[in-house]
């Protein structure tokens, strides 16, 4: 403290005293050490800036360039940093080639000693949502709203949309002229089939639409159990259930209701007390 007071009488305990060093007196090892420290601090600052930048992009869509595929993982370039696409986040059956451009959904940004690690996805329902926002101006403006999405990546997606303007057809806006808009989105996700339905505040109507393309005769609602019993024509039963139950499963995910599907004959038999 006494030495500090000689430099400046105003110094108090806890103050930082700076003293200019004559770098010409540094030895070679000291100079190299100082350089390494400075470079390290600069790199840490750069990593911190990149982390903050990409952390803000979580739940957003980015264009990535495939760098390499190694041990099942695809490593992609995202601009200032790289991302990783793990097998679980890849569309089943999709292959990737070096320098291929793909759209990815940013799942998570993690801090790592080597820099930020960006985990991306091609299977997340959020990818579908962001693609529609990019492709459909009515969604971006808020006139058309996405109410729900149910997806089995690589196979089929159901999306429920609603228009806040009676003069705007929500489904038509998403499909586009001659199906151009939805076709571009399907092409971006390896030809995955997309069913676009109109959301309805009436749960029975909404559930019936969710089972599209199957036709529905009647929907019985159990509000307490949030379960629905759906009656379809005999020739529509397989279509309503879908291959391996996919259509019914996606409709249930989309609406948030348990759905039990019966053919007209099965329903009539049950009502008469006989087994279909």
pLDDT digits (tens, 9 = 90+) for 92-136: 999 999 999 999 999 999 887 777 889 999 999 999 999 999 999
Rounded to the nearest integer, the mean pLDDT of the chain is 89
- Residue 17's pLDDT is 63
pTM score of the predicted model? 0.80
- One fold for 124-199 and 201-276: yes
Q: What is the pLDDT of residue 112?
A: 74
Establish whether the linkage from the previous residue to 270 is cis, with ω within 30° of 0: no
Which residue bears the tokens 């579908």?
Answer: 128
Query: 201-276: which CATH architecture?
Result: 2-Layer Sandwich (3.30)
Lowest mean pLDDT among 172-176, 232-236, 263-267, 270-274: 270-274
**What's the CA gap between 194 and 173, in Å, rounded?**
14
| End-to-end Cα spacing for the chain | 96
Residue 273: the pLDDT is 65
User: What pLDDT was estimated at residue 88?
Assistant: 95
Q: Is CATH 3.40.50.920 the right assignment for the domain spanning 61-121?
A: no
Instruction: Reply yes or no on whether the pLDDT at 276 is more than 50.
Output: no
Q: Is the pLDDT of residue 174 over 60?
A: yes
Q: Which CATH number fits domain 124-199: 3.40.50.150, 3.40.640.10, 3.40.47.10, 3.30.300.20?
A: 3.30.300.20
Identify the pLDDT of residue 81.
Answer: 87
| pLDDT above 80: residue 28 | no
Domain edges within the chain: 61-121, 124-199, 201-276
Q: Does the pLDDT at position 52 exceed 90?
A: no
At 58 the pLDDT is 92
How remote is the C-alpha of 250 from its chain's centroid?
17
pLDDT band at 233 (very low <50, low <70, confident <90, very high): very high
Structure tokens of 163? 């228009």
* 3-state DSSP assignment of residue 49: helix
- Across the range 227-237, mean pLDDT stands at 97
Q: What is the widest separation between alpha-carbon atoms in the chain?
A: 106
Instruction: Report helix angle 203-210 to 246-255, nearest 10.
Output: 150
Q: Are 252 and 226 in contact (CB under 8 A)?
A: no
pLDDT value, residue 219: 97
What is the reported pLDDT for 38? 64
Strand bridging mode 193-198 / 156-163? parallel
pLDDT tens profile 178-220: 999 999 999 999 999 999 999 999 999 999 999 999 999 999 9
């Amino acid at each position: 403290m006494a030495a500090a007071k000689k430099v400046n009488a105003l110094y108090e305990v806890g103050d930082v005293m700076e003293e200019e060093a004559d770098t010409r007196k540094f030895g070679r090892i000291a100079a190299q050490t100082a350089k390494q420290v400075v470079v390290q601090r600069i790199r840490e600052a750069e990593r911190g800036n990149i982390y903050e930048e990409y952390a803000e992009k979580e739940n957003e869509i980015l264009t990535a360039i495939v760098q390499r595929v190694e041990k099942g993982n695809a490593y992609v370039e995202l601009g200032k940093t790289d991302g990783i696409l793990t097998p679980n986040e890849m569309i089943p059956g999709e292959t990737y080639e070096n320098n291929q451009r793909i759209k990815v959904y940013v799942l998570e940004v993690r801090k790592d000693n080597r820099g930020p690690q960006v985990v991306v996805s091609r299977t997340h329902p959020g990818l579908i949502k962001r693609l529609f926002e990019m492709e459909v101006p009515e969604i971006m403006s808020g006139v058309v709203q996405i109410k729900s999405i149910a997806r089995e990546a690589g196979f089929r997606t159901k999306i429920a949309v609603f228009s806040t303007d009676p003069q705007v057809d929500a489904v038509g806006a998403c499909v586009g002229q001659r199906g151009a808009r939805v076709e571009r989105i399907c092409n971006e996700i390896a030809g995955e089939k997309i069913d676009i339905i109109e959301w309805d505040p009436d749960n029975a109507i909404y559930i019936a639409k969710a089972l599209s393309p199957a036709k529905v005769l009647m929907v019985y609602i159990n509000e307490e159990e949030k379960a629905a019993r759906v009656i379809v024509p005999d020739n529509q039963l397989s279509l309503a259930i879908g291959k391996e139950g996919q259509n019914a499963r996606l409709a249930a995910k989309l609406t948030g209701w348990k759905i039990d599907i019966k053919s007209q004959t099965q329903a009539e038999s049950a009502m008469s007390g006989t087994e279909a």
